Amino acid sequence: MRAYILRRLAQAVVVVWAVTTIMFVMFRVMPADPTAVLMERGMTDAARETLIAQWGLSGSLWDQYLRYMGNLLRGDFGSSFFYRKPVWEVLWPLIGNTLWIAVPGLLLGAFAGAALGMLVGWSKRGGKIERGGIFLATIIRGAPSFVIGIALLTVFSSTLGWFPGFGMGDPGPTQGFARYLTLDFLHHLALPLIAVIIYFLPENLLLMRSGVVENRTEDYIELVRAKGVPSSRVAWHAARNSLLPLITWLFPALAETIAGIVVIEIVFSWPGVGRELVLAVTRQDYPLAQAAFFLLAVMIVLANLAADLTYGKLDPRVVYK
Amino acid sequence: MKHSIRSWRAMALLPMSIALMTGTAHAQALGEPVPELQIAYYASDMGPMYEQSARVMSEEWAKLGLSFQLQPVQFSAFISNIMVGGGLEDMAVFTVGADPDRVDPTYWLYDLGACGARRNGAKWCDEEFTALATAQRSQVDQAQRLETVYAAQQRFYDQAPWWPATNTVYGILWNSDKWENVTSPAPVAAHEGLVDPWLSAVPKTDDRILDWAYLEDVTTYNPLAEEGAVGWLRFVYDTFAKNNAQGETVPWAAESWEFTDPQTVRIVLRDGMTFHDGKPVTAADAAFTINMVVEAQPPAMSSRIANLESAEVIDERTFEVKLKTSDAAFVTTVLTYLFILPEHLWADYEGDVTARDVIADGVAIGSGPFKFKTWRMNEVHELDTNTAHFNAPQYDGLRRLALGQADAIRSAMLSGAADIATTVLPVAAMSDLAVQEASLDFLEIPSHGSLLVWLNNEKAPFTDLAFREALRLATNKQRAAIEGWLGFAVPAGEGSVPTQLGMWHNSDLAPIPFDIDAARATLEAAGYGWDAQGRLHYPPN
Domain count for chain B: 2
Q: Is the pLDDT of residue B11 over 60?
A: no
* Largest pairwise CA distance in chain A: 86
Instruction: Say which residue, B320 or A226, is predicted with more confidence.
Output: B320
- Say yes or no: B369 and B451 in one domain: no
Q: What is the arithmetic mean of pLDDT over B112-135?
A: 95
β-strand pairing of B179-180 with B202-203: antiparallel
Euclidean distance between CA atoms B266 and B242, whole angstroms: 17
- Say yes or no: B433 and B460 in one domain: no
Euclidean distance between CA atoms A229 and B303, whole angstroms: 83
Chain B CB contacts of A283 under 8 Å are 228
CB B441, CB B176: distance < 8 Å:
yes
Residue where one domain finishes, among candidates B445, B466, B481: B445
Taking only the tens place, the pLDDT of each residue in B213-261 is 988 788 889 999 876 555 788 899 999 998 876 667 889 999 999 999 9
CB atoms within 10 A of CB B146: 16
Taking only the tens place, the pLDDT of each residue in B275-306 is 999 999 999 999 999 999 999 998 888 888 98
Length of chain A: 321
What mean pLDDT, rounded, does chain A reach?
83
* CA atoms within 13 A of residue A74's CA, in its CB half-sphere: 7
Euclidean distance between CA atoms B472 and B163, whole angstroms: 7
- Say yes or no: B519 and B415 in one domain: no
Topology at the third CATH level for domain A95-314: MetI-like fold (1.10.3720)
Instruction: Say which residue, B390 or A164, is predicted with more confidence.
Output: B390
Q: Does B308 touch chain A (CB under 8 A)?
A: no
Instruction: Say which residue, A264 or B463, is predicted with more confidence.
Output: B463
Chain A CB contacts of B216 under 8 Å are 279
- Say yes or no: B93 and B144 in one domain: yes
- Say yes or no: B157 and B180 in one domain: no
Residue where one domain finishes, among candidates B445, B473, B496: B445
- pLDDT on residue B478: 95
- pLDDT on residue A229: 81
Euclidean distance between CA atoms A45 and B428, whole angstroms: 38
Beta bridge partners of B468: none
User: Testing the interface with B: which of A159, A189, A269 to mutate, by most B Cβ within 10 A?
Assistant: A269
Q: Is the pLDDT of residue A250 over 80?
A: no
Distances (CA, A) of A141 to A133, A144, A254, A262: 12, 8, 16, 17
Instruction: Establish, for the pair of chains A and B, how many residue pairs have beta carbons separated by less than 8 Å.
Output: 145
- Say yes or no: B413 and B510 in one domain: no
Euclidean distance between CA atoms B304 and B140, whole angstroms: 17
Q: Is the pLDDT of residue B482 over 60?
A: yes
Nearest to B19 by CA among B541, B467, B529, B526: B529
Distances (CA, A) of B496 to A268, B141, B493: 43, 22, 8
Contact A39 B297 (CB under 8 A): no
Among the partner-chain residues A32, A169, A283, the one whose CB lies closest to the CB of B77 is A32
Euclidean distance between CA atoms B314 and B339, whole angstroms: 19
Cis (ω within 30 of 0) for the bond into B197? yes
Q: Does A176 touch chain B (CB under 8 A)?
A: no
Euclidean distance between CA atoms B360 and B455, whole angstroms: 49
* CATH number of the domain residue B193 falls in: 3.40.190.10
Q: Is the pLDDT of residue B318 over 80?
A: yes
Note which residues in 276-295 of chain A have CB less than 8 A from chain B. Answer: 276, 279, 282-284
Q: Following DSSP, what letter does each residue of B454-472 receive, concatenated?
A: EE-TTSTTTT-HHHHHHHH
Contact B76 A171 (CB under 8 A): no
| Residue in chain A nearest B95 by alpha carbon | A40
* CATH number of the domain residue B505 falls in: 3.10.105
Classified as helix, coil or strand, B448 is strand
Note which residues in 65-104 of chain A have CB less than 8 A from chain B. Answer: 81-85, 90, 93-94
- Say yes or no: B457 and B309 in one domain: no
Q: Does B312 touch chain A (CB under 8 A)?
A: no
- Say yes or no: B458 and B437 in one domain: no
- Say yes or no: B283 and B390 in one domain: yes
Euclidean distance between CA atoms A69 and A18, whole angstroms: 12
- State which of A33-47, A115-129, A264-278, B519-533 shows the largest mean pLDDT: B519-533
Note the Cα A102 to chain centre separation in Å: 6
| Residue in chain B nearest A175 by alpha carbon | B376
| Residue in chain B nearest A50 by alpha carbon | B299
CATH 1.10.3720.10 residue ranges of chain A are 95-314
Taking only the tens place, the pLDDT of each residue in A60-91 is 888 889 988 998 888 888 888 888 788 888 88
| DSSP collapsed to 3 states, A246-263 | HHHHHHHHHHHHHHHHHH
- Say yes or no: B218 and B357 in one domain: yes
Please enumerate in sequence order all residues whose Cβ is within 8 A of that of A4, keeping only pairs 6 or more positions apart, or say none: A320, A321
Q: What is the pTM of this model?
A: 0.79
CB B527, CB B540: distance < 8 Å:
yes
| Domain assignment of residue B86, given as a range | 3-167+447-537
- Say yes or no: B392 and B460 in one domain: no
Instruction: Say which residue, B416 or B318, is predicted with more confidence.
Output: B318
Cα dihedral sign for A150, A155, A156, A162? Answer: positive
- Say yes or no: B478 and B421 in one domain: no
Distances (CA, A) of A152 to A194, A267, A268, B270: 9, 10, 10, 54
Contact B225 A85 (CB under 8 A): no
CB B386, CB A278: distance < 8 Å:
no
